[in-house]
Structure 1
Amino acid sequence: MMPPSTDSSAGAAEMGKECIVNDQMGPFIVIYILIFIISLPGNLLSVWAFIRSPRTNSTSVYLVNLLVADLLLLLALPFKILKDLGVMPWNLMVFHCQASAVTIYISLYASIAFLTFIITDRYLQDCHSLNSLRLREVGFARLLSLVVWLMLLLIMVPNMALPTNKVQEQQYLKCSSLKTSIGLHWHSLTVFLCTVLFLNASAGVLISSGLALKRLLRSRKDPKLWVNARRAAVSVAAVVLAYILCFVPYHIVRLPYTLAQTKVITDCQTQRKLFLGKESTLLLTVLHLCFDPLLFFYLYEPFRQAFRRMFPCCRSQAASDAEQQAAQEMMQTAASARQEDAVNTRVNPCSTLTGEVAQRPKA
């Protein structure tokens, strides 16, 4: 006689029970714990540095909002780890499915939005056109950030508030099994809307990176323009690389996995493979917790200054960086003034002629 199969999916099929997909979480748990341990000091240090550094431009506004999204993810991640370990009390497992799991996705799409804004802002920073200066105003950046948070809360919070099914206590709880029919439909709508948000953000990333590359190629003959264009292209490329690595694989798997959650795909083996694919790519999205402190340090000069003040050996370097930053700000202010004068001249060319006539000596 053949020995009985230990495969959980086969057992589920034979016994008519619900397909178990989350019984192989051991490797994921280890990596999640490592990510949490590695990223926590960097993000706490980022909080300290941003508190001590001024926020005077749009880049700082977007970076602070990205840090807020990271902190939300850090708060929700321990609940996911404990739930996957199977050591969490039943009430906390339900709480994770209703609240902390939704918080993870709020953080995920907030990070996508603010990384897109940072990439666009880095390109606009070196354009020095009057329109780009208006788009980079602090007030506009704060308004745009507020719109992003309100939109995400409007989409995600109903997943927390909608009623749930009463499910018998079990070790391998699937959060989708707690959802009612209305909850599953809203969950599907949420995935669709967030995918649209991701596609629009990806279009913005592609356009900004393409324009930065185009500007770099056009400035090859001018050494001064080449230096500025290369700096902008490198900073944009660094953020784009992190964006692609962390978020693109997840969205390739997300829609098919949602079909399995909503019972459109019913084959147990397919459900298990889609779940493992979703968890593997979700792991990549969480990985940006380790990358973001490096982006803060690289992209924002006041952050670097606040960080270097912690170490006495770096104070002289911080002072020289402050002088360079002040010189760059003076140059940008002068360029902005010249552009405004040029715009005013184009709008009212007679004013310049009148001034010249007034200054001409009388015969």
Structure 2
Amino acid sequence: MNTDDSLTERNEETCPRVPFDFSGQFLPPVLILVFIIGLVANGWGLKSLLHNWKKIHIINVFVLNLGLADILYLLTLPFLVVYYLKKNTWIFGDAFCKITRFCFNLNLYGSIGFLTCISVYRYLATVHPVRVMRRLTVTHSVAISVMVWLLVGVQSLPDMFYPKNKGKIPKCYHTTSTARIEDYLTYSLGWTLTGFFIPFLITLSCYGHVIVILCRKNSIQTDTKRRSLRLLFILILLFSVCYIPYHIFKNLTLWSRVLEKQKICRDWSNGAFIAHQISRGLVCLNSALNPLVYLHVNEEISAQLRQLIQRAHQIFYRLILSSSDSVRVAQTADDVYQESRF
């Protein structure tokens, strides 16, 4: 999740500011919720994949790396919760601040990268099942995963060389201080293009073609069509809720800070700033929503989940029955007692 420092990161300009601290009130409960749900869901999914490691498939390698990217970020959330509860005061040192921000970027753009790999795999498996899929092996998927990590690392590394602190009170900015805001805006725009926009176009193209093929071919099983449509829905949800608003309003806010540094005030500046704060709360949800991908690329995990739901339903049903029986027995005993008095 991106954790900008609300009002303190903005320039000391004469432009009107938003008169409240959004991050300190909204982000801690969101981070705590994401930490609990994300850790449980990703931990369970990774455990299921590793338990069936001998049956590992090409697509499971991408899902495994997706889960590792989530775990990497989730482990930094307790430190960010402390940061916001202490009113944007960072007590863990500048080096760990940069490591925390680096882990966020690895999670965000690693998730986008591996979701793109899953989309391309689904496309190849549907459109070119014989000509291409027989040539792909698990070794290829491992090599592609290493390339994704390297690419994301190279894209994220320059961020660590920008100042993350300013003033007497220790901070942990997710972008940088006002002094280098122009350079950071240029870097952010290039990062958005290569790390988000291009993978997003690839994902849209792959699934757009897949949907056309599924609708045209009557030979494809209904279950296969349903699973593909569900995965498409999950990807649309992730991009529309988590990724698109974040990148739009992050860059708009950076641009407004550049204008404010030049003493230029815009009417839309505060609106973009507030929207960016909300998008920062939404983008961290990807670590809690990514486990939904497990359910639609691995049949065994889906079967395990159905079994858990059935067991929970049976236990709940038995508890209701036992409670009803207890009430019935109590009423019968009370009736007997009342009759014995007359």
TM-score band w.r.t. shorter chain: 0.7 to 0.9
State the shift of 1:67 in Å: 0.2
State the shift of 1:153 in Å: 1.1
Q: Structure 1 residues 191, 96: CA separation in 2 closer, same or farther (over 3 Å shift)?
A: farther
Q: Structure 1 residues 21, 235: CA separation in 2 closer, same or farther (over 3 Å shift)?
A: same
* 8 A contact 1:62–1:117 mirrored in 2: yes
Q: Return the match for 1:286 from 284, 287, 306.
A: 284
How many residues were matched structurally? 299
Any stretches of 5+ residues in structure 2 without a counterpart?
1-6, 313-342
Q: Which residue of 1 aligns with 2:122?
A: 122
Q: Structure 1 residues 173, 69: CA separation in 2 closer, same or farther (over 3 Å shift)?
A: closer
Residues of 2 paired with 1:30 and 1:269: CA distance? Answer: 31
For each residue in 1:87-131, what CA deviation from the matched residue of structure 2 results, as whole angstroms up to 9, or x when unmatched?
576442634642212321221011111112112222333345333
The equivalences for 1:171-250 within 5 A come to 174=173, 176=175, 178=177, 181=180, 185=183, 188-219=186-217, 222=218, 224-227=219-222, 230-231=225-226, 233-244=228-239, 245-250=241-246
What letter corresponds to residue 298 of structure 1 in structure 2? H
SS at match of 2:168: coil
SS at match of 1:143: helix
Q: Which residue of 2 aligns with 1:37?
A: 36
For each residue in 1:43-79, what CA deviation from the matched residue of structure 2 results, as whole angstroms up to 9, or x when unmatched?
2222322221225322101100100111122022223
* 8 A contact 2:164–2:173 mirrored in 1: no
Which sits farther off after the overlay, 87-96 or 28-37? 87-96
Residues of 1 paired with 2:18 and 2:191: CA distance? Answer: 28
Q: Which residue of 1 aligns with 2:137?
A: 137
Q: Structure 1 residues 80, 90: CA separation in 2 closer, same or farther (over 3 Å shift)?
A: closer
What letter corresponds to residue 251 of structure 1 in structure 2? H
* 8 A contact 1:8–1:20 mirrored in 2: no
Q: Which residue of 2 aligns with 1:98?
A: 98
Percent identity over the alignment?
Answer: 20
Q: Structure 1 residues 292, 148: CA separation in 2 closer, same or farther (over 3 Å shift)?
A: same
For each residue in 1:164-223, what CA deviation from the matched residue of structure 2 results, as whole angstroms up to 9, or x when unmatched?
487332377655555864x8625632442233331111111111121122112212xx3x
State the shift of 1:237 in Å: 2.0
Q: Which residue of 2 aligns with 1:332?
A: none
State the shift of 1:41 in Å: 1.4
Q: Structure 1 residues 43, 297: CA separation in 2 closer, same or farther (over 3 Å shift)?
A: same
Q: Which residue of 2 aligns with 1:151?
A: 151
Q: Structure 1 residues 229, 300: CA separation in 2 closer, same or farther (over 3 Å shift)?
A: closer
* 8 A contact 1:164–1:178 mirrored in 2: yes
Q: Which residue of 2 aligns with 1:351?
A: none
Where relative contact order (Cα < 8 A, 6+ residues apart) is larger, the structure is 2
Residues of 2 paired with 1:282 and 1:144: CA distance? Answer: 29
TM-score, reference length from structure 2: 0.72
Q: Which residue of 2 aligns with 1:73?
A: 73
State the shift of 1:312 in Å: 11
Q: Return the match for 2:254 from 252, 255, 258.
A: 258
SS at match of 2:233: helix
For each residue in 1:253-277, what CA deviation from the matched residue of structure 2 results, as whole angstroms up to 9, or x when unmatched?
122122245x244449855443332
Any stretches of 5+ residues in structure 1 without a counterpart?
1-6, 315-363
State the shift of 1:147 in Å: 0.8
State the shift of 1:300 in Å: 0.6
Which sits farther off after the overlay, 146-155 or 122-131? 122-131
* 8 A contact 2:59–2:121 mirrored in 1: yes
* 8 A contact 1:119–1:239 mirrored in 2: no
* 8 A contact 1:167–1:178 mirrored in 2: yes
Q: Which residue of 2 aligns with 1:355?
A: none
For each residue in 1:9-53, what CA deviation from the matched residue of structure 2 results, as whole angstroms up to 9, or x when unmatched?
9xx657x9x978882220232222222222221122223222212
Residues of 2 paired with 1:171 and 1:21: CA distance? Answer: 22
Q: Which residue of 2 aligns with 1:329?
A: none
